[in-house]
Amino acid sequence: AQSVTQPDIHITVSEGASLELRCNYSYGATPYLFWYVQSPGQGLQLLLKYFSGDTLVQGIKGFEAEFKRSQSSFNLRKPSVHWSDAAEYFCAVGAYGGATNKLIFGTGTLLAVQP
C-alpha cells in the first residue's frame, strides 16, 4: 500500500541555519513526489514536485529536494532558513491511476524558527 512517513513531528531551527526535513515513501511504481507547505490560516501551497529526470529538484522560496530511489526518500532542504519559513510541511506521493490522481500525505512536520 502507498504511504508516506515524516519521522519528525516538530523541528526547531535558528534563523539562518540550514534545514532538512525527512520524508520516506512506500509506493509500488515510480513515485510522483511533492512537498507542500501550510502556513497558519492558509491552504496547502506546492513547494516543489518530482516526476522524473533530475533527482534534485528546485522549488519556490529557495527550497530543494532530492529523490533517492535506493532509500525511498525525498528530503526537503533549505540552506538558510528565514523566520517566514515557520509553517507545517507535508510530503506527499501521487497515487496516479485512471482519472483520480489523488495524493497521499504524510503526517507533516511543524517547523519553528528561532531568532
Q: Is 31 in the site for other proteins (CB under 8 A)?
A: no
Cβ atoms of 13 and 64 within 8 Å: the answer is no
Which residue, 87 or 92, is less far from other proteins as judged by CB?
92
Question: What is the distance between the alpha carbons of residues 34 and 46, in angstroms, rounded to a whole number?
Answer: 7
Q: Is 99 in the site for other proteins (CB under 8 A)?
A: yes
Question: What is the distance between the alpha carbons of residues 70 and 60, in angstroms, rounded to a whole number?
Answer: 26
| Residues forming beta bridges with residue 76, ordered by sequence position | 21, 65
Binding span for other proteins by CB under 8 A among 17-25, 62-70, 74-82, 101-109: 101-109
Per CB under 8 A, residues contacting other proteins are 32, 36, 41-46, 49, 51, 90, 92, 96, 98-108
